[in-house]
């Protein structure tokens, strides 16, 4: 059985074909980041949708070509229907509906964050249940995964997503012009520059330190970083001399340290909660773009070990957005016989689709 995954929820057009053993037959990814970057902050939704529209057919053809398959050979189409940018989601869903009209295939509607959470199982035989931390450009979620369609949310971010804050801080530190970073942007640039700095150089807040639940908050890091940078007049330093280099490195290191401290604190609460909620949970999985960060991986590995958990992470190319994870989520649904859709033409995209059951109140009461 072959499943084609189609991902267009944000700014990456991703298509991949995976078989029911989890073997990757072919994949193609068209990123828009080089186009949105010059526009300044973030992604322009109308432009993103236009680019998906322009690229999707070629990306599908490329994935088919790489896998040596024809569209007739595909058994199931799995498509991201939410959460994400409405216009972007619509392009992938519309294209899928057209394919389904022309060819006789099954259809599976995929939740983008569920796909981020399941992708680890494509390469690692991780059993359900497990605890997952999803840290990405638009989300921060801690959840217990009992099956491909069964998620219990222990906490999520009350404001910004960690990837978003990494991107903003990288931008404020002007890392896109940093001589030792080159073409790399966002969170990856912070991780590289942080290696050169002192994480104790700037004191940032211990956000939500006394709050007894598993929710997150990241907005405070942005204002704290900005206040420090204003004090040292960072914006008026034009050339990358020794002084500017040192400030940027120290700030990147301090920011990464405090943000990781915050994440680790929330994860430890979740690990405690899991012991009574579902003692069969023995694995902590981290996924989403920010899970590429090795500093965060190392700190969470220590947390997991201290609680007798194993840490598991997908390789970086599966942590950021791609079609492979959507195809794999389709395989998971097929295998577990969940999410059968009788009339795909009636499916509508869902920009705000919460992941699973909200348990955050129960977590707060249990602590
Ligand atoms: P969502 O999945 O919530 O809809 P998204 O799909 O846009 O959001 P991803 O592609 O999963 O997000 O992740 C992109 C984010 O990951 C970016 O904000 C980027 O800065 C961040 N990121 C990538 N590599 C690293 C790293 N090494 N350290 C920190 N952040 C990173
Ligand atoms: Fe994503």
Read off the pLDDT of residues 101-122 as tens digits, 9 standing for 90 and up: 999 999 999 999 999 999 999 9
**Residue 141: nearest ligand to its CA?**
1
Q: 208-245 pLDDT, tens per residue?
A: 999 999 999 999 999 999 999 999 999 999 999 999 99
Nearest CA to ligand 1 atom 2: 136
**CA angle 12-16-18, nearest 5°?**
150
Q: For residue 33, name the pLDDT band (cuts at 50, 70, 90).
A: confident
Beta-bridged to residue 31, according to DSSP, are: 12
Closest by CA to 12, choosing from 329, 341, 326, is 326
| 165 Cβ closer than 6 Å to some ligand 1 atom | no
Quick one: which ligand is closest to 157's CA?
Answer: 1
| 119 Cβ inside 6 Å of ligand 1 | no
Give the bridge partners for 79, in sequence order.
6, 109
Q: Is the confidence at residue 38, as pLDDT, over 70?
A: no
C-alpha span between 98 and 344 (Å, rounded): 10
3-state DSSP percent of the chain in helix, strand and coil, to 5:
50, 20, 30
* pTM score of the predicted model: 0.96
Contact present, 131 and 143 (Cβ < 8 Å): yes
191 lines ligand 1 (CB under 6 A): yes
Residue nearest to atom 7 of ligand 1 (CA): 137
**How many Å from the N-terminal Cα to the C-terminal Cα in the chain?**
46
Residue 352 contacts residue 146 (beta carbons within 8 Å): no
Please give the structure tokens belonging to residue 307. 């609680």
Which ligand minimizes its atom distance to the CA of 319? Answer: 1
Running DSSP on this structure, what letter comes out for residue 309? P
Ligand 1 atom index nearest CA of 319: 11
Confidence check: pLDDT of 358 > 60: yes
What's the ipTM?
0.98
Q: 3-state DSSP call for residue 151?
A: strand
To test the pocket of ligand 1, the residue of 289, 315, 326 to mutate (highest count of ligand atoms within 8 Å of its CB) is 289
- Whether 284 has a pLDDT exceeding 90, the answer reads yes
Nearest Cα neighbor of 147 from 123, 122, 127, 128 is: 128
């Amino acid at each position: 059985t072959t499943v084609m995954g189609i991902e267009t929820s944000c700014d990456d057009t991703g298509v991949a074909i995976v078989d029911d053993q989890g073997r990757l037959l072919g994949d193609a990814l068209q990123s828009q980041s080089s186009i949105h970057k010059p526009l300044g902050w973030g992604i322009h939704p109308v432009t993103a949708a236009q680019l998906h529209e322009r690229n999707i057919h070629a990306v599908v053809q490329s994935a088919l070509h790489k896998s040596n398959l024809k569209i007739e050979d595909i058994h199931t189409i799995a498509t991201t229907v939410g959460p994400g940018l409405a216009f972007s989601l619509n392009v992938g869903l519309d294209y899928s509906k057209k394919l389904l009209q022309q060819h006789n295939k099954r259809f599976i509607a995929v939740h983008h964050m569920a796909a981020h959470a399941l992708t680890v199982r494509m390469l690692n035989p991780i059993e359900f249940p497990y605890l997952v931390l999803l840290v990405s450009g638009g989300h921060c979620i801690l959840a217990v995964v009992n099956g491909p369609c069964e998620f219990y949310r222990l906490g999520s971010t009350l404001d910004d997503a960690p990837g978003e804050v990494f991107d903003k801080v990288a931008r404020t530190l002007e890392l896109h012009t940093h001589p030792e970073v080159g073409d790399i942007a966002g969170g990856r640039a912070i991780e590289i520059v942080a290696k050169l700095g002192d994480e104790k150089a700037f004191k940032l807040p211990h956000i939500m330190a006394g709050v007894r639940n598993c929710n997150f908050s990241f907005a405070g890091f942005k204002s704290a970083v900005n206040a420090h940078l204003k004090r040292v007049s960072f914006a008026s330093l034009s050339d990358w001399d020794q002084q500017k280099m040192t400030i940027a490195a120290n700030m990147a290191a301090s920011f990464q340290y405090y943000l990781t401290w915050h994440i680790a604190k929330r994860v430890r609460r979740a690990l405690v909660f899991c012991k009574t909620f579902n003692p069969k949970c023995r694995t902590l999985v981290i996924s989403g773009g920010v899970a590429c960060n090795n500093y965060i991986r190392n700190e969470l590995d220590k947390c997991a070990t201290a609680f007798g958990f194993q840490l598991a992470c997908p390789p970086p190319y599966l942590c950021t957005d791609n079609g492979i994870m959507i195809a794999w989520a389709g395989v998971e649904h097929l295998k577990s016989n969940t999410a059968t859709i009788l009339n795909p033409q009636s499916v509508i995209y869902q920009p705000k689709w919460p992941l699973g059951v909200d348990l955050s109140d129960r977590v707060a009461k249990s602590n």
